[in-house]
């Protein structure tokens, strides 16, 4: 019989031990994220363990999105590309859901979205993550790149752009990120969200900037987990794009991975055939379909949260948001962003 147990903060060691030993775990499965969600956005969380005969056979980190005037739902996990259920191979998702969905409904949660990499060839959500296997040496990586990509990197180098590492560059990262999000028409995360990540997960993250002389014009939050690198945040200032800072930014991150024994770089989520999708492909990245399965507990079907903000209403909102003053985007943006998982 499957038993569900709610993990508490004093159980964090056992949780992370399971995460670190599971082949499919991600950076977002780490227990530390619970504190980040609660501290930066005051979001309610349920971190659940699944037991059979007192043996831990699976976990689910989940965050409750409780929008005004709508019924609350759980996501695993918001603000991430993929996380979701982690289960032993012998345990099917269907068996877990037989116990999980009634548990959530009893907590007055009326929907659940599980975000994961899909190995179903028929999955056509349109959302993918792109990954590149890293070779054992930088010379091999350079030779693997298309000539056009190498030329764009050289152009940035000839322009005198340089790389700088260090978590102390958070101010500059947030400044570049927030200006870029406004130009894209997307509400920003709070500065507290970034502060919490860099403080609570300091052993897993670093910041890379590209500079023209001493001015940061591009920045990346780089995540180091197991043998994988990933970039949940990467942005450039629009006025400097002609200098190709993005190309040098990603070259610096990939080079770091090769030099430090990492095996894979995850470029993150993109919509198929979008601009970011094509940018990532040029680094010889391969796509993996993402499955954002939404389970309604009140009978009516609902699309994934991703589908809802890629629709026509979202585009209208984005066009309006681009026009608001920068200072206002910093004030209002985080108040909205907590509801956009």
> Domain containing 106 — which CATH number?
3.40.630.30
The per-residue pLDDT for 310 is 73
Give how many domains the chain has, as a whole number: 2
User: Do 82 and 181 sit in the same domain of this protein?
Assistant: no
Pair of tokens at residue 18: 């399971």
Q: The tokens of 223 are what?
A: 């995540």
Residues 67, 187 within the same domain: no
Q: Which two tokens stand for residue 8?
A: 């508490």
CB atoms within 10 A of CB 159: 15
Q: Is the pLDDT of residue 120 over 70?
A: no
What are the Cα distances from residue 108, in Å, to 44, 64, 101, 117, 245? 12, 10, 11, 28, 47
Contact (Cβ atoms closer than 8 angstroms) between residue 224 and residue 244:
no
Mean pLDDT of 171-175: 99
Residues 251 and 306 in one domain: no
The per-residue pLDDT for 124 is 65
Predicted local distance difference test score (pLDDT) of residue 172: 99
Report CA Rg, the chain: 20
What is the bridge-based pairing of β-strands 111-117 and 264-271? Answer: unpaired
Residues 210, 67 within the same domain: no
Residue with the bigger pLDDT between 260 and 102: it is 260
Q: Bigger pLDDT: 198 or 125?
A: 198
Distance of alpha carbon 209 from alpha carbon 245, whole angstroms: 9
* Longest pairwise C-alpha distance within the chain: 64
215-237 pLDDT, tens digit each: 999 999 999 999 999 999 999 99
44 in Cβ contact with 36 (< 8 Å): no
SS3 sequence of 270-331: EECCCHHHHHHHCCCCEEEEEEEEEEECCCCCCCCHHHHCCCHHHHHHHHHHCCCCHHHHHH
pLDDT 10s digits, 86-113: 999 888 888 898 899 899 999 999 999 9
Q: Are 229 and 253 in contact (CB under 8 A)?
A: yes
Pick the last residue of a domain from 267, 288, 309: 288
Lowest mean pLDDT, pick from 125-129, 159-163, 320-324: 125-129
Residue of 69 and 110 predicted with greater confidence: 110
> Is there a single domain that holds both residue 155 and residue 276?
yes
How many residues are there in the chain?
341
Are 191 and 244 in the same domain?
Answer: yes
In a shared domain, residues 153 and 233: yes
Which tokens hold the place of 139? 């010379």
Residue 303 has pLDDT above 70, yes or no: no
Contact present, 81 and 290 (Cβ < 8 Å): yes
Q: What is the mean pLDDT of residues 174-194?
A: 98
Please check whether residues 68 and 108 belong to one and the same domain: yes
Q: Which residue has the tokens 């509801």?
A: 339
Query: Reduced to 3 states, what is the DSSP secondary structure of residue 173?
Result: helix
Q: How confident is the model at residue 273 (pLDDT cuts 50, 70, 90)?
A: very high
What number is the average pLDDT over the span 152-175?
98
Asked if residue 305 has pLDDT above 90, the reply is no
Does one domain contain both 115 and 145?
no
Residues 296 and 276 both lie in one domain = no
| 18 pLDDT above the threshold of 70 | yes
In a shared domain, residues 165 and 63: no
Mean pLDDT for the chain?
94
Query: Does residue 56 sit in the same domain as residue 144?
Result: no
34 lies in which domain range?
A: 2-124+290-337
């Amino acid at each position: 019989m499957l038993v569900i147990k709610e993990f508490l903060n004093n159980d964090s060691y056992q949780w992370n031990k399971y995460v670190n030993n599971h082949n499919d775990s991600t950076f977002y499965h780490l227990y530390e994220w619970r504190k980040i969600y609660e501290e930066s956005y005051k979001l309610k969380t349920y971190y659940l363990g699944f037991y059979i005969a007192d043996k831990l056979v699976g976990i689910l980190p989940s965050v409750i999105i409780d929008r005004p005037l709508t019924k609350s739902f759980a996501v695993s996990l918001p603000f991430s590309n993929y996380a979701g259920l982690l289960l032993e191979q012998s345990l099917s998702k269907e068996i877990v859901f037989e116990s999980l969905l009634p548990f959530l409904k009893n907590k007055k949660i009326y929907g659940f979205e599980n975000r994961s990499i899909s190995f179903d060839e028929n999955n056509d959500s349109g959302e993918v993550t792109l990954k590149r296997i890293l070779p054992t040496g930088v010379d091999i990586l350079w030779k693997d790149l298309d000539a056009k990509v190498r030329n764009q990197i050289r152009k940035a180098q000839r322009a005198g752009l340089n790389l700088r590492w260090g978590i102390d560059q958070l101010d500059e990262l947030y400044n570049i990120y927030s200006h870029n999000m406004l130009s894209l028409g997307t509400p920003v995360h709070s500065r507290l969200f970034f502060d919490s990540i860099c403080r609570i997960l300091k052993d897993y993250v670093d910041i890379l900037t590209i500079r023209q002389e001493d001015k940061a014009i591009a920045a990346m939050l780089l995540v180091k987990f197991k043998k994988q690198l990933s970039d949940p945040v990467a942005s450039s200032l629009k006025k400097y794009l002609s200098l190709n800072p993005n190309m040098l930014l990603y070259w610096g991150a990939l080079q770091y991975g090769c030099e430090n024994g990492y095996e894979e770089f995850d470029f993150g989520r993109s919509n198929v055939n979008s601009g970011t999708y094509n940018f990532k492909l040029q680094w010889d990245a391969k796509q993996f379909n993402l499955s954002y399965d939404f389970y309604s507990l009140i009978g009516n079907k609902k699309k994934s949260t991703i589908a809802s903000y890629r629709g026509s209403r979202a585009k209208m909102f984005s066009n309006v948001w681009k026009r608001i003053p920068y200072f206002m985007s910093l004030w209002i943006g985080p108040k909205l962003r907590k509801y956009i998982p």
